[in-house]
Homo-oligomer: A and B are copies of this chain.
Amino acid sequence: MRTCLEAHVSLAESAEETLFERREKALGAGAPLFYDKPLHLIRGEGAHLFDVHGRRYVDLYNNVTCVGHANPHVVEAMARQQATLNVHSRYLHEGIVEFAERLVGLHTAPIESVIFSCSGTEANEVALRMARFATGKGGFVCSNYTYHGNSDLVGRLTFVEERESESREVRAFPFPETYRAIEEASSDVELGEIYLGRVQRAIEGLETGGAGFAALIVCSIFANEGLPNVPPGFMAKAAEMARRAGGLVIADEVQGGYARTGRWWGYEAAGFLPDIVVTGKPMGNGLPLAATAASRALINDFRAKTRYFNTFAASPLQAAVGMAVLDVIEGEDLRQRSAEVGAFLKRALTERKARWSAIGDVRGRGLFVGVEMVKDRTTKEPDINMATVVCDRLKDKGFLTAPAGAYGNVVKIRPPLVFTHSDAVAFIDAFDAVVEELDG
């Protein structure tokens, strides 16, 4: 005979199956879901999420909710503004001007003005078109395993083969990494030169192909590529190369920005200065909010040529929520926390490498760490299955991560910035337990 608890869980599981079936109909079959058995979440608080069974999960995945799920300062700002005024941007409003000024002030790159939008996709659309207007050229260079968004134009930058780009307007270079060098090199500096040669080749491909070279666009920390360690000085040299060729440099900071690396911007961590900076995910703690920032000359030129208007963007709501998020990051010094807790996590995981041969590499900066799973440390053959199993087992133990990276074999650890040292300690214990199960 089943216990009451078992019956309850079984009932809830069948309710989840029903919800899954309804979802497949209402949202279409194959709307993406995480985990072998998807989670049915109902509540969040800080770095923790709770499912329909009352089970608590430590969230090591969600960077959007950077100041924590249900952050009360953000909730209050959102509710207050929505109850006061939320209209489009063709009226004067103090809030959005103040928010733009605050954003500009956070940059060390030559950033002066901001165009707001609703998603990283929209903000990257603005960035790419801005580069085209500024240069009079049509083509973009990106890395071969990047992701910048899901529109027709931005989507063409996703997972582009180096030579066989579908579009004559996009050329890819192999993302730089010291872990798996594309060619043998006597040093990381020499390896960097090899990768720079591929960037050069991509630029030349656009020029000879007729589209011309408008911009180099990169995620400053190559997040989707798997947070590779990059040959020293690579990005500074690549940016210089792009400018010498008459193009602009676009830093997609949707993942790398907003204190994620322990610095405000990924480009600071990577050591280069972009012409255009794109931000998104963490800006609104879940409110759709994104921005394209650049010099005033670039922004003015774009505005003059497009009369760009975005119905929901640059609204009083985006401003109030966006500033509440900055208040919390600054007020609780989450940049410092990101640096410190992140360093602890990376150190602890690097130690695990010595104990478990399936860990090929541990990389990252601040609260963004990747654990690369391999079948063999010598061949470095990616172990996608192991990464998937590790994430599923961690989920079963109450810790949320997801597989990522160019080969899908990197356990991605990218918690809300309010993630604490004790959350990290608990996670490392769970990780050890998973290693024990799988390596036993």
Hey, which bits of chain A sit against chain B, CB under 8 A? 16, 19-20, 22-23, 25-34, 38-44, 49, 62, 64-65, 69-70, 72, 74-75, 78-79, 82-94, 96-97, 100-101, 104, 112-122, 125, 128-129, 150-153, 155, 280-281, 284-288, 296, 299-300, 302-304, 306-315, 317
A70 to B92, Cβ gap below 8 A?
no
Alpha-carbon gap, A345 to B214, bound state (A): 51
CB distance from A77 to the nearest CB of B (A): 10
The CA-CA distance from A20 to B94 in the complex, in Å, is: 9
Enumerate the 7 nearest inter-chain pairs by beta-carbon distance, A residue then B residue, closest first.
Answer: A28-B299, A79-B79, A26-B100, A288-B288, A86-B286, A152-B153, A288-B312
Q: What are 5 sample pairs from A and B whose C-beta atoms fall under 8 A apart?
A: A41-B85, A62-B87, A65-B87, A79-B79, A119-B119
The prevalent SS among residues of A at the interface is: mixed
Q: Is the CB of B113 within 8 A of A125?
A: no
A27-B100 contact in complex given A84-B70, A310-B150, C-beta closer than 8 Å: yes
Min CB distance, A46 to chain B, in Å? 12
Name A302's closest neighbour in chain B (CB-CB).
B28
The answer to whether B150 touches A309, judged by C-beta atoms less than 8 angstroms apart, is yes
- A328 to B: closest C-beta gap in Å: 14
A44 touches B84 (CB 8 A): yes
Which residues in B have their C-beta under 8 angstroms from that of A30? 300, 303-304, 307
Decide if A26 touches B83 in the complex (CB within 8 Å).
no
Residue of B nearest to A30 (CB): B303
Shortest Cβ gap from A160 to chain B (Å): 16
